[in-house]
């Protein structure tokens, strides 16, 4: 039963982290004038709308996974550059806020089950926020960084984006990604700690 309960707790935590992250993108895009995500039914916290079953399973087993990407049309933003930056950051911000709430619940809970679910949810949300802020396509960190790259480097940007998924997989399997991930993770933990 311990193994089964661990799997269920992790599934709940992952589903929450994925849903909050994608909802953050959808909500910020909507507030900035883009109705695309809403039209596709993604302006919701319902995990069924955001969770990719295969991505969820691989995340649970191999700690590498994905959600269904939220459709966004940046041409609907009043400010293309800053709209992209805000939408890119909003998923991680949603995860950070969720981690803070979850840790407050865990800290004040007297029930082991609630404490376990809340603390696991917080851990996944912090990890999701940090990982997605790595500046490698198609992660959100690249959406932030690329907005500030001069147009004269557009050819380099295009090539980098086209090889983004390969670069990301290599970075994960070689462990190189931790060079960037670790300081981002530490910074987010510090931010979360301020509210506890």
Two tokens at 39? 């039209």
The pTM for the full model equals 0.92
Give the position of tokens 């809403």. 38
pLDDT digits (tens, 9 = 90+) for 19-70: 999 999 999 999 999 999 999 999 999 999 998 989 888 888 887 888 999 9
- Least-confidence region, from 14-18, 75-79, 155-159: 155-159
- Residue from 59, 44, 47 nearest 128 by CA: 59
User: How distant, in Å, are the alpha carbons of 27, 35, 110, 133, 149 from that of 70?
Assistant: 10, 11, 37, 16, 24
User: How distant, in Å, are the alpha carbons of 3, 58, 61, 196 from that of 54?
Assistant: 20, 6, 11, 35
- The residue segments making up the domain with residue 146 are 2-194
Total domains present in the chain: 1
């Amino acid at each position: 039963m311990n193994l089964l309960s661990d799997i269920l707790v992790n599934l709940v935590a992952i589903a929450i982290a994925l849903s909050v992250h994608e909802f953050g993108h959808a909500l910020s895009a909507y507030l900035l004038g883009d109705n695309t995500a809403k039209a596709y039914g993604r302006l919701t916290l319902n995990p069924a709308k955001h969770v990719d079953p295969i991505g969820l399973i691989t995340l649970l087993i191999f700690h590498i996974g994905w959600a269904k990407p939220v459709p966004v049309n940046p041409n609907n933003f009043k400010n293309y550059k800053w709209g992209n930056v805000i939408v890119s950051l909003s998923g991680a911000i949603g995860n950070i806020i969720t981690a803070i709430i979850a840790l407050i619940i865990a800290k004040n809970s007297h029930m082991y089950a609630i404490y376990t679910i809340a603390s696991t949810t917080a851990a996944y949300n912090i990890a999701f926020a940090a990982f997605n802020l790595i500046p490698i396509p198609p992660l959100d960190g690249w959406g932030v960084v690329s907005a500030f790259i001069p147009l004269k480097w557009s050819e380099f940007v295009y090539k980098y984006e086209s090889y983004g998924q390969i670069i990301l997989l290599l970075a994960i399997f070689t462990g190189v990604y931790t060079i960037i991930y670790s300081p981002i993770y530490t910074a987010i933990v510090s931010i979360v700690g301020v509210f506890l």
